Structure 1
Amino acid sequence: MATSCCSPVTCVATCSDAFYFEVVAPETDLAADSFEQSQCLGRWVRSEFNKFLLLNDEKKFQVQNLTSEQLSQPECNFQILIYSDMEHVEEKGRKVAMLYVKNEGTNMVACCRKRTEVYPEVYPEEMDTLPKRIEETKHKALFFMTKLTACATFSFESTENPSWFLGFQPDGENPSLNKLVLLKKKDTQEVDNAMRVILIK
């Protein structure tokens, strides 16, 4: 919880040469650490290597080349749900976003979980109803979305796993495919090409 202005005080007692005060923080002066839905964008999600993110028949995220015919199928577009936040993350040049795609009428949301004690992973999770308001400052389905260039290139950092970004990695089982993963950012200012996410209308 963060105060939106200075907290008023009330004198409650005096003793000898000392004054005792009580801090009074009215509820109306508090800004909750929370996120609220504000905007939804339909976009193709593409890697720097010209492969597009899809939910395959096994309900797993897959990154592959698409034909022009496949690109004309709007149901494969991902929805980027933007949340406004009470702590003004936008002022730092980034937004808070959730990524999901419709599958047979169900929302399949990109979420994070710990694969091991150290390494998190990203996976699709069914959500019948997307939350209109999220009270926590960290959430498995929320990412800090930062614009990297004048073109529609962004990075998506997990709010639950700081310094871990959505990225693309070759699929060991099929070299022609990539998979959606969480990648750890190195100790440099530059975002690795594998962490660059291109959003196309």
Structure 2
Amino acid sequence: MNPGILSFAYPCSICKVTERDADLEEDCFQRSKQVWNCWITCYNHKFLMFDGNQFQIHIYDSSLLDKKGRAVMLYVNKPDQKDGKKMVVCCRNDKEIYAEEMDVPQSIDGLSDKALFYRTELAATNKYMFESTAHQGWFLGFNPSPESCLLKLVLRHINKDQVDEPCEFHLRESKK
């Protein structure tokens, strides 16, 4: 499958989600009703897109909310999909990022999943980072693509409190 790539688009206002669900089981993630369309931009103001489609972010509630940040799943709705399946950002065991076609699950047992990331806001910046739940200390980021001027979505290892611009994202609400 193709990794996510970046291309240009027009930004809108920043989106924030704060609602929490109270019915959580220990060591699992429950899909909330919160889904939002956002443009995801990187350090050089390019937008994350997959096959020309913007990303949606689905919030998952967890008992670990206050420890790690909000659990989220990033995906695109493909216009030709009639069965509800999404193209979801996932991590392989070798820490490579890929897109996988799947239904967005209602719940996920355990403490990690290839398709879940902890979204944390960087203090006083309106920027966010996405840490893999499957690979602690590894964050979504960008590397230059050798084939083009686009950037490739990757997992990057960073130490706690380390500054790494390619792992910092702006989230801008889309008007749909």
TM-score calculated relative to the size of structure 1: 0.67
Secondary structure of 2:66's aligned partner: helix
The equivalent of 2:60 in structure 1 is 83
1:168 aligns with 2:166: no
* Pair member with larger Rg: 1
The equivalent of 1:141 in structure 2 is 115
Deviations 1:43-101 (A, max 9, x none): 011101111111137xxxxxxxxxxxxxxxxxx2211111001x2x2223611010000
1:47 aligns with 2:42: yes
The equivalent of 1:18 in structure 2 is none
Counterpart CA distance in 2 for 1:145 and 1:199 is: 11
Secondary structure of 2:152's aligned partner: strand
The equivalent of 1:111 in structure 2 is 90
Question: Could you tell me which of 101, 104, 117 is aligned with 1:126?
Answer: 101
Task: Verify the 8 A CA contact 1:152 1:200 in the aligned structure 2.
Answer: no
**Long gaps (5+) in structure 2:** 1-23
Moved over 4 A (4+): none
Letter in 2 for 1:179: K
Counterpart CA distance in 2 for 1:179 and 1:111 is: 14
Task: Verify the 8 A CA contact 2:68 2:118 in the aligned structure 1.
Answer: no
Task: Verify the 8 A CA contact 1:93 1:147 in the aligned structure 2.
Answer: no
**Long gaps (5+) in structure 1:** 1-29, 58-75
Deviations 1:85-132 (A, max 9, x none): 1x2x222361101000011224100000023xxxx11110001x2101
Task: Verify the 8 A CA contact 1:79 1:100 in the aligned structure 2.
Answer: yes
Deviations 1:133-192 (A, max 9, x none): 111211000011101144541100000011110001100111x2111000011x351330
1:190 aligns with 2:162: yes
